[in-house]
Amino acid sequence: MAKIKLIFAWYDFWIGLYWNKEKHSLYIFPIPMFGLRITFFSSCGYVLMKYGLFYRPNYSGYTNTVSEAGLYTYNEAKKHECKRSEPVTMHHISEFL
């Protein structure tokens, strides 16, 4: 699944393509300042981490290997992400492959 958005960025005076790994977005600027942002979402491609350990499937325990980690949708991972009280962070699985 992907979301496409037209963008105007007065500070981006360049032509070309840029891949943002953290946001899983492709920026296409055919002319300076005017472009497209295509954000890619996979149905189950996110893992949750707490203190350097991955959540297991169904939020049942922790593991230190990504192959044993549970895969969650973007919405599930975002719902459990908490950066203040407990450092639970969400990451796309592609960061670890």
Which tens digits make up the pLDDT trace of 3-53? 899 999 999 899 999 998 767 789 999 999 999 999 876 667 889 999 999
Banded model confidence at residue 86, pLDDT cuts 50, 70, 90: confident
Q: Which residues, at least 6 apart from 84, have a Cβ–Cβ distance to it below 8 Å?
A: none
Banded model confidence at residue 89, pLDDT cuts 50, 70, 90: very high
pTM: 0.56
Residue 1 has pLDDT above 80, yes or no: no
Residue 93 has pLDDT above 70, yes or no: yes
Phi, psi of 68 (to 5 degrees): -100, 0
